[in-house]
Each structure stands twice: as structure tokens, then as C-alpha cells.
A = this chain, B = another copy of it.
């Protein structure tokens, strides 16, 4: 599976800042389930609470929210590697510099982090985490500018890569997005004087806030008692919106890069039906993410949409014995195939991606064991052939099944009657956005922003 790195949330101007951040993070839970944290500021005091686990688990004790007093807050939910030592990597990070506190939450990935880190370390910076987010803090502290806003703008001159950022100073929220706009970031309004910044607009909906606009690529805004101030401190760049947000990551009820995710996802399904039609009795989607594309496929093809797999709600931390001989237990634990729907049918199965091919193979078997006569697998995205350097966790190139196999080879591997992937052009032409607004590097292998020589060789974690 591919995983996004993080969800971020910021709020300025509510006495219930921590609580609203909690619900905001809850709605961004799909962007990261391994840790969560909230920092607040009010009356010159800063409070922080972080922990490993889902938002629900970290804040299981209500009192830990109540203690986060203040009317400014930022929150973060994160996907990451496990392990106790990674405790120190839980965001938001909170530091003190010149007797002032600064907190940061980051979604993205830097492409020149190692160079920056080496440079900073040789001038005396000490690194306490293995996260490239810490680099922003050192750069900000090193700036000679007087205000946090200016220092942050300063620091952004040095970094390359994908970043959507929220900062909390003791008196304001500062949000920033890299000039290519890889990852989303939206601005909302809760009520007069209360503003919100979040990775996706579903975080506005849950608390009843209104979407205003996206933070623009390259924009830095500060929200304080003076209202919102907007700066564009960076050189303009060609946009490179991560198209995977549409395909898989973002919640269908979110607006991302200015569009309803659901609407785009359905369009992908329709386009998929145009590119790869087939004879079949029913269309099903792999729930929940591919259901919308499956509806699009159904609509375009006229083949009846059905719910042939039901996602189990009680997955949790079910153990799976590696030595057990229950076949394909892991997918059985996640999905219940509905025999009454599938039996004897020619089934179009719509999914949003094939990564290693292992899970897809097991799903095919599961569907076939429920009686499907034919399986026509349709993927609402092109083959993934290259890793992502901008904030998505993917396996290495070698592990990507499409990096070394043709579509026909994959089809045989998965043992399906037919297999169709969406084309890159079919995927990325959107009526509402200029052509080439998207980063499609994981499908094309062509990167809009080169990774530094050093970063290319090594991963930060391994230093």
C-alpha cells in the first residue's frame, strides 16, 4: 500500500482551539495513523500533548485536551515507521529560541535535506530527531530576521521539496506551501476572526467551518490579531500537484487543489471505462477508496454497479499468524466478499492502484472463491513504476510490480481475464486545471524537482 505522510491542522482565535483541533485531526486520520499531537498557546503559555497511535487513542483521556488551554493551536497526525525511539519524531515539534516558542507541523518531504543537515550540523546545530521537519526549525533559528514570519520566509529560501507547513508562534499561526504545491493546504473560516488551515477541507466540515480558498503554492500566510497577511517570498515554479491525492489519499468528501475529490475520482472511473471497456455483468469497487471510480465506470459503461466486497469495521490489530494455513487471511480479515452478488457473474473490479501486486492477487482469489466467473481488473490510475520523493511512502522501485513487468505479465500474475490501467493523459487532463499541473512522477518516472545527489544516495533515517 502507499501511504501519505501526514495531516496538518491549525486554528487561530477560538477558546476551544484544542478541541476543534482534535476533531480536525480526527477527520484527517486517514492521512496518518501512527501518532498525533496538539500544541496550543494562550496567555503567554504554551501547552503540548503528543503520543503514539490514532487521534482517538492519543487523546483517549479527555483531560489531556482540557489541559491544552489557549486560543491558538496546531495539530498533526502522522504516518511513520514504528518503534519506541520514534517517540521523539512525533509532531508537532516545539522549540524555544530567543526565549520564544515555535511549533511546527509538516506534510511533505525535502529533497535536499541531507545537504542542509550537513551544513547546519557543521555550524553547530544539533539534531534531536531523524525527521527532515527539524531542518525548518534550525534554519528559522539561524535567520537574523527579527520576526518569526520573516525568519520562516528566510528559511524557505534554502529548502527544496514538498512541504505544506503550519507553524504556531505564541501569538499567531503561520502557514506555508512549497512553490510547486505538491501537497494540499486549505484555508477556512470558523467564524469572525477564527481561521483554520488544514490539509483537506473535510477538517472544516466536521466542525462546521467554511472553505475560503487554498493556500497558494509558494504562499506564506500569517493569521494573528491583525487578521490574515499573505506573502509570496519564493520564486514562482511550475505547479506539481500530487495526483495521488485525487486517486487514493484524500477523502472523497474533501475539496483538494480546488476540486471535489469525489468528482475527480468519478471522472477517472468514467475515463477508465472509455479506455478499457469490457463485457461484464456487474462493476464492483475495492472499498472504500475505489467505490467512487467504480461508480464512474458503471455510469459510463452502463454495467450495473454492485457492492461485492464489504470492508470490515473491526480490523483493528487482529493478529495474523505467519505460520497459519488459512489462505489469504489478511484480505479476508479486511474484506467480506458477498457471494450473492458475485456468484456466476462476470465482474469488473475497479481498484485505484497496484503496488507490489500481492494484495491485488489475494483480492482476485477472494472474489473468485465467492463465485465470480470472470474478473476484469481495472485500475483508475496508470502503472506505478517509480518511487515518490515528495512525501508518499512507497516501496522501492524493485518492489513495484509495474517497474519490471508488462501489463500482460501482471495480468497473468494476478490471474484475471483482463487488466486495464488508466493512461497518464487520461488521468491528468482535467477540465478545471491547466494541463501539466500535476506531478505524475510515480507513473512517468520524470521528476519535476530533482532530488539532491546526497539525498538520492542515502535516506535520512539511515544516516
Contacts and interface: CB of A to CB of B under 8 A. Distances in A.
Contact of A97 (B121, B261, B319): B121
A205 B87 CA distance: 33
B126 A138 contact: yes
- Which 9 interchain pairs have the tightest Cβ spacing? A260-B340, A262-B340, A124-B142, A56-B316, A263-B340, A95-B126, A96-B127, A29-B314, A253-B336
Interface stretch (A291-299, A408-416, A438-446): A291-299
A338 B253 contact: yes
A435 interface: no
A88 interface: yes
Instruction: Count the copies.
Output: 4
11 contacts: A23-B326, A54-B314, A56-B318, A95-B126, A124-B138, A124-B142, A251-B336, A252-B338, A253-B340, A255-B339, A262-B341
**Main SS class of interface, A:** mixed
A262 B321 CA distance: 30
Interface in A280-315: 288, 291-292, 295, 299, 304-307, 310-311, 313-314
B127 A97 contact: yes
Contacts of A253: 310, 336-340, 370
A102 to B, nearest CB: 8
A94 B84 CA distance: 13
Contacts of A84: 48-51, 64, 67
Contact of A121 (B26, B99, B252, B291): B99
A283 to B, nearest CB: 11
A304 B313 contact: no
A7 B97 CA distance: 29
A255 to B, nearest CB: 8
B321 A19 contact: yes
Given A205-B332, A305-B305, A316-B56, A463 B96 contact: yes
A122 interface: yes
Interface string A100-141: 001000000000000000100111111110100000011011
Given A19-B324, A208-B327, A262-B338, 17 more contacts: A23-B326, A26-B318, A33-B314, A47-B85, A51-B84, A55-B314, A56-B317, A60-B317, A67-B84, A98-B121, A98-B122, A124-B138, A125-B125, A126-B140, A205-B332, A252-B340, A253-B310
